[in-house]
Amino acid sequence: MAEEARGICVRDVAATDFIKSYAEHLKNSDKFDLPVWSDTVKTAVFKELAPYGDDWYYIRAASIARKVYLRPGVGIGQLQKWYGGSYRRGTRSEHFRKAASGIIRSVLIQLEEMKVVEKVGTGGRRVSVVGQQD
């Protein structure tokens, strides 16, 4: 039997390959802008320094777009938990801390302006039809 031709979706591609290529697509897009504060902001409370790479904002945006595609209805709070981590407090015990919500919110707002994601009536976001074709 001949194999049926099937479309390739985000689930079929490895996460690192998709994030790398979609970040490059966002970087080359004139609709997605880099905020002025992106070189000084930390990504979370538990981080000591800001990210080193110049493209970290585009990589985070591509990762957020992938998460929204895989889990429709995901909100800022769930994404904060996903990108959160362990807050090392010296000799005291570690505690979990969420990631910075401002970065996630600004990425989602820009993706909404590009019509890649849209708000869901029950809360959260999902990838729009235009975003699936993009």
Mean pLDDT by 10 residues, the chain (134 residues): 68 90 91 88 88 90 93 92 91 92 93 91 88 81
Give the whole-angstrom CA distance, residue 21 versus residue 97: 29
Distances (CA, A) of 13 to 9, 38, 67: 7, 28, 13
Q: Alpha helix locations (H) across 71-100? A: 76-83
pLDDT reported for residue 132? 84
Distances (CA, A) of 120 to 60, 81, 125: 22, 20, 5
Give the whole-angstrom CA distance, residue 60 versus residue 107: 8
| pTM of this structure | 0.88
Give the whole-angstrom CA distance, residue 70 versus residue 125: 11
CA 92 to chain centre: 31
Q: CA quadruple 121, 80, 106, 102: dihedral positive or negative?
A: positive
Closest CA to 100 of 79, 118, 74, 73: 79
Give the whole-angstrom CA distance, residue 83 versus residue 73: 17
pLDDT reported for residue 122? 87
pLDDT reported for residue 51? 87
